[in-house]
Amino acid sequence: MLPLVSAFGRLGEENAFAVLARATELARSGRDIINLGIGQPDFPTPAHIVEAGIQALRDGHHGYTPATGILPLREAVAGDLHRRFNVEVSPESVMIVPGGKVTMFMAILMFGEPGAEILYPDPGFPIYRSMIEFTGATPIPVPIREENGFAFSAEETLSLITPRTRLLILNSPANPTGGVTPKAEIDALVAGLARHPNVAIMSDEIYGTMTYDGEAHVSLLQYPELRDRLIYLDGASKTYAMTGWRLGWSVWPKPLYDAARKLAVNSHSCVNAATQWAGVAALNGPQDCVAEMVAEFDRRRAIVVEGLNKLPGVSCIRPKGAFYAFPNVKQTGWKAKTLASALLEDAGVATIGGPDFGVHGEGYIRLSYANSAENILKALERMGDFLNRRNAA
């Protein structure tokens, strides 16, 4: 026996990876599986970004870089934030990290300890809660409700803050719901946070380029009154279809930046150099590739929502961002996780049960529409056939 420290007993994971493994296994055994489970764009990384990565390797960028990232990339991030949100961000407060996850890992490590409370969205990205538990802090779920369009409620969020609250995690556009919180609600939250100056905020805006219906993304960076306690999380994974490159970035308030740098030095040293140069090309290059991907997601969004609403016992509100639909399946009579599992095993459609994103996810399943329109239509047909054929287990 090699007993691990007890914190590992509290560390969770992402069931999306387990579903992916099972879907791959079924496909290998000859089954025709449509994967609407995984949260990654189905597009290749745009060619000019790939070329920049290859060129960097040819140019000899083979060594360590500064732990905080190369200056041209930190400048490119600052430039991108200025272009998108009209905000001034110093490259000195930008940190380059190996994926969006690393920023939440660092932020939660900085504020989580026994006795501390950390607020996080539920349903939400499962790693928030997993990491909060790991640190020994108390996870306080902020319910994200369908009747609220899957936006977070400023009033409810503020009501959950106590003198023990150290960190508030926000995510809009959101995984797994596709919910986008309207500006008025964010305004109200920010106004209320003035009464809680000792609470740090981590805003996960990894889907910030993916909003629909002409609605501009509102960044927490646009609120100067929060800047001295705001950690902004973003990255290339979703926007530039670069999940496998492992490239993320964050903006930190000055007092936290050096702590983040030290965590980088103690763990990954730096993001690999060629990936960072690819990131420079992504941010400084033409952005039509992003617009094209988002337009295609928008087209599929219409297909998914229309198709889901025709299924027996299923209803789905129109998600306003990201590339997820989060249909309500309560009227099917199935428990969400049992349904997701039966859909995979019986109908060959991979989805994720809502409870994998938190207790408030019961009654819902997540579908990622990062798959072709043709496959989405086929998956919807199979789901309809399954629901008509099988009674709830």
Please tell me whether residue 321 binds ligand PLP under the rule CB under 6 A.
Answer: no
Of 20 and 199, which CB lies nearer to ligand PLP in the complex structure? Answer: 20
Of 171 and 209, which CB lies nearer to ligand PLP in the complex structure? Answer: 171
User: From the CB of 388, what's the least distance to ligand PLP, in Å?
Assistant: 32
Please tell me whether residue 211 binds ligand PLP under the rule CB under 6 A.
Answer: no
Q: Rounded to 10 degrees, what is the CA torsion of 208, 209, 213, 217?
A: 40
Of 127 and 311, which CB lies nearer to ligand PLP in the complex structure? Answer: 127
The binder of ligand PLP chosen from 35, 203, 211, 243 (CB under 6 A) = 243
Of 46 and 100, which CB lies nearer to ligand PLP in the complex structure? Answer: 100
The DSSP symbol for 142 reads E
User: From the CB of 42, what's the least distance to ligand PLP, in Å?
Assistant: 14
Q: Which of 169, 182, 113 is nearest to 141 (CA)?
A: 169
Of 175 and 181, which CB lies nearer to ligand PLP in the complex structure? Answer: 175
CA 4 to mean position of chain CA atoms: 29
User: From the CB of 209, what's the least distance to ligand PLP, in Å?
Assistant: 13
Please tell me whether residue 328 binds ligand PLP under the rule CB under 6 A.
Answer: no
By rule CB under 6 A, what string of x and - marks binding of each residue 273-302 to ligand PLP?
Answer: ------------------------------
Of 124 and 149, which CB lies nearer to ligand PLP in the complex structure? Answer: 124
Instruction: Answer for the pair 234, 321: CB distance below 8 angstroms, yes or no.
Output: no
Interacting span for ligand PLP (CB under 6 A) from 45-53, 70-78, 96-104, 261-269? 96-104
Q: Which residues ranging from 338 to 367 are in contact with ligand PLP (CB under 6 A)?
A: none
Interacting span for ligand PLP (CB under 6 A) from 45-53, 54-62, 80-88, 99-107? 99-107
Please tell me whether residue 204 binds ligand PLP under the rule CB under 6 A.
Answer: yes
Please tell me whether residue 272 binds ligand PLP under the rule CB under 6 A.
Answer: no
Secondary structure of 47-76 in the HEC alphabet? HHHHHHHHHHHHCCCCCCCCCCCCHHHHHH
Query: What CA–CA distance (Å, rounded) separates 132 from 139?
Result: 6
Instruction: Answer for the pair 238, 41: CB distance below 8 angstroms, yes or no.
Output: yes
Query: Between β-strands 165-171 and 117-122, what pairing exists: parallel, antiparallel or unpaired?
Result: parallel
Secondary structure of 156-220 in the HEC alphabet? HHHHCCCCCEEEEEEECCCCCCCCCCCHHHHHHHHHHHCCCCCCEEEEECCCCCCECCCCCCCCH
The DSSP symbol for 343 reads I
Q: Which residues ranging from 28 to 47 are in contact with ligand PLP (CB under 6 A)?
A: 39
The binder of ligand PLP chosen from 36, 68, 95, 101 (CB under 6 A) = 101
Query: What CA–CA distance (Å, rounded) separates 12 from 122?
Result: 15
The binder of ligand PLP chosen from 41, 46, 208, 248 (CB under 6 A) = 248
Please tell me whether residue 219 binds ligand PLP under the rule CB under 6 A.
Answer: no
Report how many residues bind ligand PLP under the rule CB under 6 A: 13
Interacting span for ligand PLP (CB under 6 A) from 76-84, 85-93, 94-102, 217-225? 94-102
Q: Which of 300, 323, 240 is nearest to 275 (CA)?
A: 240
User: From the CB of 59, what's the least distance to ligand PLP, in Å?
Assistant: 25
Query: What CA–CA distance (Å, rounded) separates 274 from 74?
Result: 15
By rule CB under 6 A, what string of x and - marks binding of each residue 149-188 to ligand PLP?
Answer: ----------------------x---x-------------
DSSP H helices in 239-372: 254-266, 273-284, 288-309, 336-342
Question: Which amino acid appears at position 224 of this protein?
Answer: P
Query: Between β-strands 365-368 and 248-251, what pairing exists: parallel, antiparallel or unpaired?
Result: unpaired
Q: Which of 314, 341, 338 is nearest to 326 (CA)?
A: 314
Which residues bind to ligand PLP, rule: CB under 6 A? Answer: 39, 99-101, 125, 171, 175, 204, 206, 235, 237, 243, 248
